[in-house]
Chain A
Amino acid sequence: MEKQIAKFIVNGRSYEIPIEPRMTLVEVLRDELDLTGTKYSCGVGECGSCTVLIDGKPTLSCCTLAITSKEKSILTIEGLAQGITLHPIQQAFIDYGAIQCGFCTPGMILTSKALLDENANPTREEVKEALAGNLCRCTGYVKIVDAVLAAAEAMRKGGK
Chain B
Amino acid sequence: MSQELSVVGKRLTQPDGVAKATGAARYTVDIKLPGMLIGKVLRSPYPHAKIIKIDKSKAEKLPGVEAVITLEDTPKIPFASSFRDLPMAPSGALQRPDQLIFADKARCVGDGIIAVAAINESIADEALELIEVEYEKLPAVFDPEEAMKPGAPKVHDYAERNIAVHVGYPLAEGDIEKGFQEADCVVEDTFFASKQIHCQLEPEACVASFDATGKVTCWSPCQLAHPCRRELAHIFNMPEGMVRVINPFVGGSFGGRLSISAEPICIALAMKTGKPVKLEYTREEDFTVLETRTPHKYSIKMGFTKDGTLIAMQVKVVTWSGGYLGRAQLAGGITLIWGMGHYRCPNRAGEADIVYTNTTMSGAMQGYGNPAIMWGVEQVVDMAAEKLGVDPLELRLKNIKKVGEISNMGLPIESTALDECIKAGADRIGWREKRGRKKEGVMRQGVGMATMTHCSGAHPLLLEHSNAFIKFNEDGSANLIVHPGSPGTHIWGTLSQIAAEELGIRAEDIHIVTGDTDITMFDLGSHASRSTHVTGNAVLMAARQAKGQLLERAAKTLGVSPDELEVKDRQVYVKAAPEKSISVAEVVRNAIYNFKGECLNISGKCSWESKWNCPPTTAGFAEVEVDTETGEVKVVKFVVAHDCGRAINPMTVEGQAQGGIMQGIGYALTEDFVINRDTGVVESDNFTTYKIPSMLEILDTEIILVERPDPKGPFGAKGVSEPCIVTIAPAIANAIYDAVGVRVKDMPITPEKLLKALKAKSDVN
- B17 near A103 with CB under 8 A, answer no
Interface pairs (21), CB distance under 8 Å: A36-B26, A40-B203, A41-B202, A77-B23, A90-B18, A91-B21, A93-B21, A94-B14, A94-B18, A94-B21, A99-B20, A101-B202, A101-B250, A103-B200, A103-B251, A137-B254, A139-B662, A140-B657, A140-B660, A143-B654, A143-B658
Q: How far is the CA of A144 from the CA of B421 in the complex (A)?
A: 26
Could you say which of B21, B30, B686 contacts A109, with CB atoms under 8 Å apart?
B21
For the side of the interface on A, what is the size category? 35 or more
Rounded to whole Å, the gap between the CB of B138 and the closest CB of chain A is 32
**A58 interface residue per 8 A CB criterion:** no
- A41 near B487 with CB under 8 A, answer no
Q: How far is the CA of A77 from the CA of B20 in the complex (A)?
A: 10
**A120 interface residue per 8 A CB criterion:** no
**A74 interface residue per 8 A CB criterion:** no
Which segment of A2-10, A65-73, A128-136, A152-160 sits at the interface?
A128-136
Given contacts A97-B14, A142-B698, 14 further A-B contacts (CB under 8 A): A43-B282, A43-B686, A44-B688, A78-B23, A96-B651, A97-B651, A97-B655, A100-B489, A101-B253, A102-B249, A135-B694, A138-B659, A143-B655, A143-B658
* Residue in chain B with minimal CB distance to A101: B488
**B642 interface residue per 8 A CB criterion:** no
By a CB distance below 8 angstroms, the chain B residues around A37 are: 22-24
Rounded to whole Å, the gap between the CB of B515 and the closest CB of chain A is 14
Cβ contacts A82-96/B at 8 Å (1 or 0 each): 000010001101111
Q: How far is the CA of A105 from the CA of B599 in the complex (A)?
A: 46
- A140 near B201 with CB under 8 A, answer no
By a CB distance below 8 angstroms, the chain B residues around A96 are: 651
- B30 near A137 with CB under 8 A, answer no
By a CB distance below 8 angstroms, the chain A residues around B13 are: 94-95, 97
By a CB distance below 8 angstroms, the chain B residues around A78 are: 22-24
By a CB distance below 8 angstroms, the chain B residues around A143 are: 651, 654-655, 658
Give chain A interface residues in 107-133, CB to chain B under 8 Å: 109, 128-129, 131-133
**B556 interface residue per 8 A CB criterion:** no
For the side of the interface on B, what is the size category? 35 or more
**A80 interface residue per 8 A CB criterion:** yes
Cβ contacts B641-657/A at 8 Å (1 or 0 each): 00000000001101101
Could you say which of A30, A103, A142 contacts B701, with CB atoms under 8 Å apart?
A142
Give chain B interface residues in 691-717, CB to chain A under 8 Å: 692, 694-696, 698, 701
By a CB distance below 8 angstroms, the chain B residues around A91 are: 21
- A100 near B659 with CB under 8 A, answer yes
* Residue in chain A with minimal CB distance to B661: A140
**B490 interface residue per 8 A CB criterion:** yes
Could you say which of A30, A97, A109 contacts B11, with CB atoms under 8 Å apart?
A97
Known: A102-B16, A103-B202, A103-B251. A97 touches B695 (CB 8 A): no
**B283 interface residue per 8 A CB criterion:** yes
Q: How far is the CA of A105 from the CA of B652 in the complex (A)?
A: 17
- A145 near B695 with CB under 8 A, answer yes
**A49 interface residue per 8 A CB criterion:** yes
Rounded to whole Å, the gap between the CB of B351 and the closest CB of chain A is 34
**Contact residues of A: prevailing secondary structure:** loop
**B677 interface residue per 8 A CB criterion:** no
By a CB distance below 8 angstroms, the chain B residues around A35 are: 23
Rounded to whole Å, the gap between the CB of A96 and the closest CB of chain B is 8
Q: How far is the CA of A132 from the CA of B693 in the complex (A)?
A: 10
By a CB distance below 8 angstroms, the chain B residues around A109 are: 21
Q: How far is the CA of A90 from the CA of B22 in the complex (A)?
A: 7
Could you say which of A34, A76, A86, A102 contacts B25, with CB atoms under 8 Å apart?
A102
By a CB distance below 8 angstroms, the chain A residues around B488 are: 100-103, 138
Most buried by B among A34, A38, A96, A101: A101
Cβ contacts A9-47/B at 8 Å (1 or 0 each): 000000000000000000000100011111111111011
- B27 near A103 with CB under 8 A, answer yes
By a CB distance below 8 angstroms, the chain A residues around B254 are: 137
By a CB distance below 8 angstroms, the chain A residues around B694 are: 132-133, 135
* Residue in chain A with minimal CB distance to B651: A97
Q: Which 10 A-B pairs have the closest CB atoms?
A: A37-B23, A101-B488, A102-B20, A140-B658, A103-B251, A77-B23, A94-B17, A36-B30, A46-B687, A97-B651
**B359 interface residue per 8 A CB criterion:** no
* Residue in chain B with minimal CB distance to A80: B22
Could you say which of B250, B487, B655, B687 contacts A139, with CB atoms under 8 Å apart?
B655
**A104 interface residue per 8 A CB criterion:** yes
By a CB distance below 8 angstroms, the chain A residues around B652 are: 97
**B539 interface residue per 8 A CB criterion:** no
**B199 interface residue per 8 A CB criterion:** yes
By a CB distance below 8 angstroms, the chain A residues around B659 are: 100, 137-140
* Residue in chain A with minimal CB distance to B287: A42
By a CB distance below 8 angstroms, the chain B residues around A101 are: 200-202, 249-253, 487-488
- A135 near B687 with CB under 8 A, answer yes
Q: How far is the CA of A145 from the CA of B661 in the complex (A)?
A: 16
**B29 interface residue per 8 A CB criterion:** yes
By a CB distance below 8 angstroms, the chain A residues around B688 are: 44, 46
- B654 near A97 with CB under 8 A, answer yes
Rounded to whole Å, the gap between the CB of A67 and the closest CB of chain B is 16
Q: How far is the CA of A105 from the CA of B283 in the complex (A)?
A: 19
* Residue in chain A with minimal CB distance to B702: A142
By a CB distance below 8 angstroms, the chain B residues around A39 are: 27, 29, 201-202, 251
**B467 interface residue per 8 A CB criterion:** no
By a CB distance below 8 angstroms, the chain A residues around B695 are: 128, 131-132, 134, 141, 144-145
Q: How far is the CA of A44 from the CA of B199 in the complex (A)?
A: 14
